[in-house]
Structure 1
Amino acid sequence: MNALRRRGLGWAAVAAVVALVLAGCGGGGGAGSAGNASGGAALSGNDINPVDPARLRNGGDFLWPIDSLPPQFNFNQVDGTAAGNRAIIGAMLPSIFRGDAKGVLQPDPNYLTSAEVTGTNPQVVTYAINPKAVWSDGRPLDWTDFDAQFTALNGTNPAYQVAGTTGYSDIATVAPGANPQEVVVTFKHNFADWRALFSPLYPKSTNSDPNAFNTGWVGRPQAISAGPFRFDSVDQTAKRLTLVRNDKWWGAPPKLDRIIYVALDPAAQPEAFANGSLSFVDIGPSVSAFQRAQQVPGAVIRTSNGPNYRHITFNGAPGAILSDPALRLAIMRGIDREVITRSQIGPIIPNAEPLGNHIYVQGLEGYQDNSGVVAYDPQKAKSELDALGWRQQGSVRVKDGKPLVIRDVIPSATPVSEAEAKIVQQQLAAIGVQVDIQTVPTDNFFSQYVNVGNFDITHFSWLGTQTPISSSSGIYRTGDGVEQNYGRIGNQKINDLLNQANAELDPAKQRALANELDQEIWNVGHSLLLYQRPDAVAVRNDVANFGAFGFADVDYTKIGFTR
């Protein structure tokens, strides 16, 4: 329902169309911080109508809405990080660790019989692969799949256009152990969030060649699978992608016959759910979707604490109008985040507050509000703009003959982004900043605008992970590659703190470093956090083991319909 992107490692992610969503490149699972070295446990569980799969009807089609068909189905490639792709690949490929309802990462027994730190100084992790685990072409999963993914994602070969290198760049070697199903990973540097690595795991055929990595999954998934479902077909005209049961799957058989992903503008999804064309709809922060779902006979709304959040990314690249951090901070002080939060999610979460931390979401140990540097103060914002030479001339400030006009790029058919942009436009006009809202097609919002820095400010959601520090690294680090730092904003202090926090194995010390890191992210005016995105999902009342997962990962084998 909104533009979503993943954050960082593995299943890290963004939400934009009721608000687009991205996942950050970093961690395993796909929720909040884990109750391990990565952070604390979530405050609450989830709301998915848990039912023993033996009591469910065998078969059926599950109609899963996504904002658009992904252009790239390699989730580790720079163009593959959309939330819709995560939902598809999660059913097809291994996630060797899975987050539970508290966000704690545990080995998935379908893929691993054990995984543990077997050495320190240097750090060594040994994985024992389930001997039953096979790719759908019949080849067993083995250490070479791990080695190929490390080779592709460690950043040493720029021909691989990767979404992020965090964690993989800390590995020295991947080698076989006592047999091909034992994997020994030796690190160059301590990496606390090692559980986030190798999820999703792609076959070595994808990772052994840059061309296969960059283009082999463009337009459609490959036929190879090692999950409960496999790719069947994609209809670009009807905007549908179908997965069917994987007959080579060795685990508990899935209850569903098919998962059909339906690409539909987020604004149209609530009505499609109401008329029976979808099995669920992600309400997220959309009040109108929430109210519509309440009217649908036979529907229930499931809610829980969620790890995902809305924000505004600023473009600070050299030559951009917002390249000066002092200007970015002054503009941020002219935006009232409380007004945006109350207007957008107040009817769903009456006491919601703006989010104050780029690393930890509310409800996780380690969270503290560090946003005081951008506290709403329009008078201070005006004074700072004056001091920077941006003088009021009529309704707009001007400096050296150039008006202070910023372009806010948002995806089409995204009511949440549109509403946020209009509020920002009105608030900044009061301090002499003109905001021009540019609405672009949802299908290329990321590829042609966000990913390439074609914006001054832009709105979408980040999907949280169980390993928020490592999954944040690609968003806030600066260096040779952009990764997911789309605004090109950062400094060496941020890079150093990321390195220190990712290497710190003591959870309390790691949390302290993470908050020092967050404070510096605020200080440089990287991005303006808005609010934690409600985890609210409307589903048919006969749907089981699905709904508001909160900090947990989806078990695709258990989704089904009651008898």
Structure 2
Amino acid sequence: MSHDGVGLRAVMRSVAFLTAGVLAVPALGGCGSKDPAGRPLAGQDIAVAARAQVADGGTMRWAVDAVPETLNTFQADADATTTRVAQAVLPSMYRLNAAGRPEINSDYLETAEVVDTEPRQVVLYKLNQQAVWSDGREIGAADFAAQWRALSGKDSAYWTARNAGYDRIERIERGSNDLEVKVTFARTYADWRSLFSPLYPKEVMGTPDTFNDGARTKLKVTGGPFTVEKADRKAHEVVLARNPRWWGRPAKLNRIVLRAVPREERSAALAAGTLDLAEIDPADIRRITLASRSGAGSPLRSTAGASASPEDDSKAESPSADASGSADETAAEESASAEESAGGEDSGGDVESGDPEANGAPEAGGAQAAPTIQALEIRKSLEAAFTQLALNGSSGPLADERVRRAVARALDRKKLAEAVLKPLGLPAVPVGSHLALSGQAAYADNSGALGDQDAEEAQALLADAGWVPGGPVEETKKEKAAGPEKGTEKPADEDDGTYIVGEDDGANADTADNKAPTDAELKDGKQQEIQQGGGVPGAYAPRGTAAPAGAPSRPLAKDGKLLTLRFVLPSGPGSSSLHTVADRISRMLVRIGIRTEMKKVPDESYFKDHIAAGEFDLALYSWPASAFPATDARPVYAKPVPAADGSVTVEQNYTRVGTDQVDQLFDQAVATLDQEESRDLVRKADARIWAAAGSIPLYQRPQLTAARENLANAGAFGLATPIYEDMGFLKKGARAAAGPSPS
């Protein structure tokens, strides 16, 4: 579930509240108070270069997860590559800046404003007079109207995945001339800037057949700096070519090839010079660094501050499939590599290139030089998505709000963020909102509505819910099958990947952030000094040693049942970071007496068969952040609604926790044109979502890319929409700006 190229309006993945009256909701910003939105935690890292320094021509080969099933972003099977193609070849009235906020796109719009509010909201778009489709026809009202009719939800023949906002439009008509589009709303809509981004031509939106099937593998008419030359599933690539009718700044590249390359194969492809840009995992950094260390040249360098520190070079986590190999191990490898190669300086950016079409670089006018491992660098930022702990409130112990709040109060979110982000040299700041990220207009840290980590308060909440230490416990079949030795975290069933954390009384449990040594590492019952994961020598005691004060609590029981929560995780090779975070969460829960049954399942069934089906108690997955949370986040936190057949409609609220009050706040936020009022209502909704403890935001997802060092204006885009026409290869002797761009 990569979030590459999150667009203006994030597509919510379907792959990722009971209000406590006793909890105080923090005061929200009012007139004269400091804006709590702040700044982005990390800027873009894209090797910024002026267009004059970028050569004309060349082909950039960019790794993607898959060739998309459809090129229509409004269909259910659209994916991140669909979004990437749409950003490059279709009009967008607005795009996101480095702070994740919408800005007018002057290539398509001169102005867009609300010109009337009574009796109806009316928005007038004044189009760029040069804006035309690739067939030469002017972009105009007919295209806007066709998209509205297709997405309004009134015609079920259109197989649309979403219609939010379009269903509030009453009519669309031509303004005073062909360059004006007048949109009249039946109901006031605060997030009107989210509409028509992307905008498809009427040839796609005009009929159900062209909408449903015509744009799945081809886009004959486009309106961006690039066109779709071909989408070839057999060749595993989508080829975008420079649009000769583009009226804006000419694209620097001749072509962009979006090539489907499995993550485990990307390091080899980068080393071989068959890719120029790829999102990678920490294990890839280790492989690339080791490859560079074994040959001539210096190790892979990071543009985000060259350093031998293990906090500088590591990885980006993938939401449902994290990188193999821990971040700590990766950092250690890189640090060692850097130290061993301390005598060599990186060459900088003067990589000569041969044939621009064959090697993905502009013509250098000299002999061809095959891309080498030393010609790569790491670009890193924080992407427009966050990882959360989801608590299923539909059944079991977590149906009790007090138990959910206890779980939340047991977590040290700062330590969890540090475990993932600190080794990467990225800001290890816990996310304070479900609805926006730092820097975005709606952001405010509302975690105070739930409270900070407090083990005593967590235990008090559990006691109030009837969960107490000790007492008679009915032993289950699974527990009987776990084997004679308990508390070792050895899988009870090697085949299904299930094991219990906190299975014994806690006396022999490990410390919070470290794994216990094996028997081979303990000699004659004496403590062996071990250091791993940031621990200190002497952190482990021999088995049987009495637990010190503050160690894990005795397991809790109620009505003869132990308090055990099912923690479901993906098992794929890219899931290591999620496993690390889950392990630390489990150990934090052991300290308040909660056991976790860890179950690893295949990636392909993780969301469909477990998250969406509600077959979990605890789970880790990520959501993209939206610039329009009143619209886009509502289905994620809406109160589940009983259906006529007795089932429950949850939309994308996989935690099944919601309240009427949260829904009302979303409805109010989307129905006011006062932007400050709308932001305050969104922040109030977020505070109440925190109080209900259905999901706990943990950290903003890291974004890590490997790029040819002479590739400019591409890499880790952070919260911003990529600007495709500026991407390209540096002219010989030119250099990009060092380090991340300011946010």
The corresponding residue for 2:581 is 420
Corresponding residue for 2:429? 353
1:233–1:199 distance in 2 versus 1, CA, 3 Å? same
Deviations 1:174-230 (A, max 9, x none): 222234542111123333332221111223344445565455555x35443222222
The residue aligned with 1:506 is: 674
- Indicate conservation of the 8 Å contact 1:417/1:459, yes or no: yes
Aligned to 2:2: 3
Q: Any idea what SS the aligned residue of 1:74 has?
A: coil
In the TM superposition, residue 344 of structure 1 has moved relative to its aligned partner by: 0.8
Q: TM-score, normalised by structure 2?
A: 0.63
Q: Tell whether the 8 Å contact from 2:101 to 2:440 is kept in structure 1 after alignment.
A: no
The 1-side partners of 2:608 and 2:137 are apart by 34
1:447/1:69 Cα in 2 relative to 1: closer, same or farther (>3 Å)?
farther
Distance 1:299 1:289 in 2: 17
User: Which residue does the alignment assign to 2:444?
Assistant: 368
Q: Which residue of 1 aligns with 2:390?
A: 313
Matched with 1:27 is none
- 1:125 CA drift (Å): 0.7
CA contact (8 A) 1:94 1:199 kept: yes
Q: What is the DSSP-based 3-state SS (H/G/I as helix, E as strand, rest coil) of the residue aligned with 2:676?
A: helix
Paired residue for 1:143?
A: 141
Task: Give the 5 Å matches for 1:251-266.
Answer: 251-266=248-263
1:408-436, CA deviations, whole angstroms, 9 ceiling, x for partnerless residues?
Answer: 24362323333333333444455333233
Matching residue within 513, 524, 532 for 2:700: 532
Partner AA of 2:169 in structure 1: I
Letter of the structure 2 residue corresponding to residue 332 of structure 1: A
Matched residue, 2:660: 492
Quick one: structure 1 residues 70 and 487, their matched pair in 2 at CA, closer, same or farther if it must change by over 3 Å? farther
- Identity level (%): 33
Distance in 1, matches of 2:719 and 2:48, equals: 15
Tell me what 1:123 maps to: 121
How much has 1:237 moved relative to structure 2?
Answer: 4.9
Is 1:517 matched up with 2:688? no
Change in CA separation of 1:161 and 1:555 when aligned onto 2, cut-off 3 Å: same
Rounded to whole Å, the distance in 1 between the matches of 2:720 and 2:46 is: 10
**Distance in 1, Cα, partners of 2:113 & 2:139:** 18
Give, in whole Å, the separation in 2 of the partners of 1:118 and 1:505: 12
Alpha-carbon distance, 1:325 to partner = 4.0
Structure 1 398/134 Cα, relative in aligned 2: closer, same or farther at 3 Å? farther
Per the alignment, in what secondary structure is the counterpart of residue 557 of structure 1?
Answer: helix
Offset of residue 387 of structure 1: 4.3
After superposition, residues 393-472 of structure 1 pair within 5 angstroms as 393=473, 395=503, 404-410=564-570, 412-414=572-574, 415-430=576-591, 431-441=593-603, 455-472=616-633
2:316 counterpart letter in structure 1: G
Which one has more relative contact order, counting CA pairs under 8 Å at least 6 apart? Answer: 1
C-alpha distance in 2 between matches for 1:97 and 1:201: 11
- 1:54/1:71 Cα in 2 relative to 1: closer, same or farther (>3 Å)? same
- The structure in which a higher percent of residues are strand is 1
Q: Is the 8 A contact 1:409 1:455 kept in 2?
A: no
- Of structures 1 and 2, the larger Rg is shown by 2
1:273 paired residue number: 270
Alignment partner of 1:284 is 2:319: no
When residues 365 and 99 of structure 1 are mapped into structure 2, their CA distance, relative to the original with a 3 A threshold, is: closer
RMSD: 3.8
In the alignment, structure 2 segments of 5+ residues that lack a partner are 17-34, 280-314, 318-322, 339-372, 476-502, 504-554, 642-648, 732-743
Counterpart of 1:503, as a letter, is A
**Alpha-carbon distance in 2 for matches of 1:441, 1:507:** 40
The one of 636, 649, 653 equivalent to 1:475 is: 636
The residue type equivalent to 1:511 in the other structure is R
* Equivalent residues, number: 538
Pair 325,67 (structure 1): closer, same or farther in 2 beyond 3 Å: farther
- The 5-angstrom pairing of residues 80-91 of structure 1 reads 80=78, 82-91=79-88
Match of 2:223 among 223, 226, 231: 226
Secondary structure of residue in 1 paired with 2:726: coil
The amino acid across from 2:570 in the alignment is I
Residue 58 of structure 2: aligned partner:
60
Give CA deviations for 1:52-108 in whole Å, capped at 9, x if unaligned: 33442222221222233333432223332x433322221122112123334453332
Report the Cα distance in structure 2 between the residues aligned to 1:406 and 1:545, rounded to whole angstroms.
Answer: 44
Distance in 2 (CA, whole Å) between partners of 1:406 and 1:117 is 50
Unmatched runs of 5 consecutive residues or more in structure 1: 23-37
The TM-score, its normalising length taken from structure 1, stands at 0.82
- Are 1:239 and 2:399 matched, yes or no? no
| TM-superposed deviation, 1:345 | 0.8
The one-character-per-residue Cα deviations of 1:332-378 (angstroms, maximum 9, x if unpaired) are 33433222211111122465221111123224465432223163344
Cα gap change, 1:3/1:386 in structure 2, threshold over 3 Å: closer, same or farther?
Answer: farther
AA matched with 1:254: A
Cα displacement string for residues 376-411 of structure 1 (whole angstroms, at most 9, x for unaligned residues): 344544444454455674737666677744252436
On the 8 A contact 1:51/1:544 being kept in 2, the answer is yes
Aligned pair in 2 of structure 1 residues 513, 78: CA closer, same or farther (>3 Å)? same
| CA shift for structure 1 position 496 | 1.2
* Closer, same or farther: CA 102–186 of 1 in aligned 2, 3 Å: same
**Distance of aligned partners of 1:351 and 1:97 in 2 relative to their CA distance in 1, 3 Å threshold:** closer
CA distance in 1, matches of 2:259, 2:334: 20
User: Which of 719, 736, 742 does residue 551 from structure 1 map onto?
Assistant: 719
Structure-2 change in CA distance of 1:254 and 1:491 (3 Å): same
- Structure 1: distance between partners of 2:264 and 2:398: 31
Once the two structures are TM-superposed, the CA of residue 472 in structure 1 deviates from its matched residue by 2.3
Partner SS, residue 347 of structure 1 = helix
